[in-house]
Structures are given as C-alpha cells and as structure tokens.
Amino acid sequence: MSLLADRESRLLIDGKLVAGSAGAFTTINPATEDVLGVAANADADDMVRAIDAARRAFDDTDWSTNTALRVRCLRQLQQAMRDHLEELRELTIAEVGAPRMLTSGGQLETPVEDLSFAADTAENYRWSTDLGRATPQGIPTDRRIVREPVGVVGAITPWNFPHQINLAKIGPALAAGNTLVLKPAPDTPWAGAVLGELITGHTDFPPGVINIVTSSDHAVGAVLASDPRVDMVSFTGSTATGRSVMTDAAATIKKVFLELGGKSAFLVLDDADLAGACSMAAFTAAMHAGQGCAITTRLVVPRARYDEAVEAAAATMGSLKPGDPTDKRTVCGPVISARQRDRVQGYLDLAVAEGGRFACGGGRPADRDVGFFIEPTVIAGLTNDARVAREEIFGPVLTVIAHDGDDDAVRIANDSPYGLSGTVFSGDDERAQAVAARLRVGTVNVNGGIWYSADAPFGGYKQSGIGREMGVAGFEEYTELKVIATAVAQ
C-alpha cells in the first residue's frame, strides 16, 4: 500500500472508506507549494452519518465494556503504523512541512510508540474502587466508585503536530471505552485520513467505533460541538476557536476538553549561563518554524545583560536558516500555508510599528521565492505590553524582554492571558525550582528538563485550556465517575 504516491484519501464512516459528499479538496506541500493530491471533502450530512455510526457503536455493541478488544485494536493500529513508518514519515514531511529530524520524535515516532501507554493504562486500570461500608441516614450501605466511558467523543485537531495530537486523543478515548469521530485540520487531512486506511486494512476495530471525517469547511467540525448525540468534545487549537467550541457545546452541557494557545516565557536568572540559555531559547523558538503551542516565545533576561542576551539569541537564531524539510539537518522548515506566513509577517511589521527592532530575521528569506518560509527572527527593544509579546504568533519569532530580578521575571511571565508552559534557567537548582513553583502554567522546564512524555499530563492554566491530555489524567478526561450504593440486607 502506498501512502503518498498519487494519493486520494477517503473518509472513514461506519467501518467503510467512502468519498466525501462535497467532492475533494487539495493538500499542498508548504515547502514547494506543489499540490500533493486530494482529500475527501465531507459536508455536514457526512458528519451526521459519522456521529450516527459512533452512537450506534457505543450504545449497541460491547465496545465500552470489552477491554481486551480495545487493547488489541489499539496495539494493532500501533503495529500497522510501525510497519508503514517510512511511508508515514514521507507523508508527514510533505504535507506538514515537518523537518525530517522531528519525525524521529514528536512529529511521528514518539506518538506512535505512546499508543502503548493508552493500551497499557486500559489493561491495568482500576475501573472500580471500594469506598467501604457506611450508614448514611442510618442505612447500612456498601459503596463503590466506578469509572465509565463518557460515550461518543468528537475530536477536533490542528495541523502543527497532527500525528501527536490525533493519537493523543484517539488512544485514551478509545482505550477508555468511548467511540470517536475525528475531524482533522483542513491543512493536514492526510495525516488523519491515513489512520482510516490502516484501521480498515490492519485492525479489528468494529464498524463505527472510530470515524474520520476530513473537510475543507470548519463548520463541519462545529457539528461535533452542537450535536446532542456527542457526549464530549476534545479540541486542540487556537483560543479563539476554543471559545466557539465551548459556546456551541454549552447548549447540551457536554463535557469539553480544550488545549489552546500559549505565549510561554523562558526565564533566565542572573546566575545562569546566559549564552547557553539564550541559545537554547532561540533554537526552541525556531524549531518547526515556531509552530508549537508550548514553545517559549518570550525570552526574559536580566536587564543588566540585555544586549548580551539579544546578541546570543540572534547568533543562534540567525544561523538556523529556513530549509528544505526533507534535509535531515533542517531545524526550521516552512510554516503551513501562505495564510499563516502572511499572518506572521503581519506581526513582524507590527513589531516595528510598536518600536521594536530585529536582531536577526524580520521577513521572508531572500533566497527562497517558493514555499511558505519566514526567517527565524529575534525582536528586541519591546516590553511585555507589546502585542507581539502578548499574542500567539505561531511562527519562528522570539521576543526578548528585560527583567529586574526574580520577582519581576515571575511577574512578566505570569502577565499573560495564557498559562501553558515555561522554562527557568539558573545556576542554582533550588532557586530555579522556587521560581518554577510561582509560574501559573501547566508545565515547566527547569535547566533543560523535558516534560513531554506519555505518562506526563499536558495542559494549561487560564486561556490555555481546560483539562489535561496524556498521562493517567488525560486518560481519565475521557471517563465519567459513578457511585453505586447497595443496601446491606439486615
């Protein structure tokens, strides 16, 4: 089976690969602007059929209670992805514009291996907990707490790390006993649709348990939030769209998981290795063209060494030239689309209007007329009040901000509508830990530590979202709690 050549993907509805009722739409290579092929274009009626199928599979089969079947199916999907890993790698590089080096980690291989965590969790999970005997209102009662699946889950995913986010929802949702409808991003439909091909060809998933609906129309995904037959919506994307999902879901009071935007801060304390820390911040901000919600895009440094910090960040950032994502040496590839490139450029123009300057970068690379590339850019001379320091840009852009000590650094980091992630660098681990404890964020990297792992919950405070993905906490997002109380015969 070829996953890339002359590709025309299909929808997966009720166990069958089918065409979209709205025809097909093209998917573009963001590095070359070439048309790669087409994806099935669903309309609202297709989505309704997918929801119907998921509802029937949950209500009328033993999927929700057959843990062994769920574990087997997830392991089969994992093995199918392993068996087609090199084809999936080429598809990911071409459609996502992901640098080849990243497909060995979070862009492909890591999320495939992380499916084991979902399967293992389901296999070993304590679904029932004895609460013991009590005599509420004088009635002897045995009580237990049980965890059950939520029901039908609607999953809406973005384009920046499609395999990681698709599988981070599919894995735990299905392992917990739910059925699911996946709506992938229009910019990366193949990354979602290919799962349908692997599922139908290599697994025992019953019809309707998982449905995959690609569409160029964002309104098709909105059906998942408004349809009363969907019990939960799991959304990853922008905060603005997350608000819409939450609003639509409110009509039926359905459960909502949201993983949204970020404007994370990289704090360098005055006893840190300044050059090393700033170089790491720059590398991180340029990776995958800055298209990551948890990437630290505000570099907060001691005021007395501000110019030195800007110079160090720019030296690294300026050396990471935008390149061909097929080249294993490339760190910064293209952004996903012309629309996104223009959006990033708009923020760069705004930085100048706000009084900032570019220590490196600032626009499209002169040597690349084709492809959606933006130069890795360091912005200096602005405070945390500037829009480029407060709004999520989603491009390879790092803004350097001065602080006046630990308290001020924490104040700047927390002065944001977001609270997704953060980094602290210090020569004193205890001092760094004390600062990390004061950050209002969901994950913190201290002196280069890595928080991304299948067993570690990921999510944010404030407008960065609601709930956690990954880890046992992420598995339990897809469950409901029930208390069963049984009177004891006298």
User: Hey, what are 225's tokens?
Assistant: 């939030």
Give the full edge-to-edge strand order of the sheet including 421-425. Answer: 357-360, 377-380, 397-403, 296-302, 264-268, 421-425, 443-446
What is the three-class DSSP state of 65? coil
Angstrom distance (rounded) from CA 364 to CA 372: 8
Angstrom distance (rounded) from CA 409 to CA 322: 31
Torsion region of 400: left, alpha or beta (phi above 0 gives left; psi -120 to 50 gives alpha): beta
How far is Cα of residue 362 from the mean position of the Cα atoms in its chain? 27
Angstrom distance (rounded) from CA 401 to CA 396: 17
Angstrom distance (rounded) from CA 109 to CA 12: 23
Amino acid (one-letter) located at 114: D
In sequence order, the 6+-apart residues with CB closer than 8 A to the CB of 430 are none
Residue among 251, 196, 211, 233 at smallest CA distance from 80: 196
Active site residue 480: no
In sequence order, the 6+-apart residues with CB closer than 8 A to the CB of 438 are 410, 414
Catalytic residue, candidates 95, 109, 197, 259: 259
- Taking the CA atoms of the chain, what radius of gyration do you get in angstroms? 24
Angle between helices 85-96 and 67-83 (to 10 degrees): 80
424 and 436 Cβ atoms separated by less than 8 Å: yes
Half-sphere exposure of 113 (CA within 13 A, CB side): 11
Amino acid (one-letter) located at 323: G
| Residue 44: how many other CB atoms lie within 10 Å | 16
User: Hey, what are 322's tokens?
Assistant: 């935008």
What is the three-class DSSP state of 283? helix
Residue among 273, 173, 286, 280 at smallest CA distance from 224: 173
Backbone angles phi, psi at 392, to 5 degrees: -75, 120
Point out the residues that are catalytic: 259
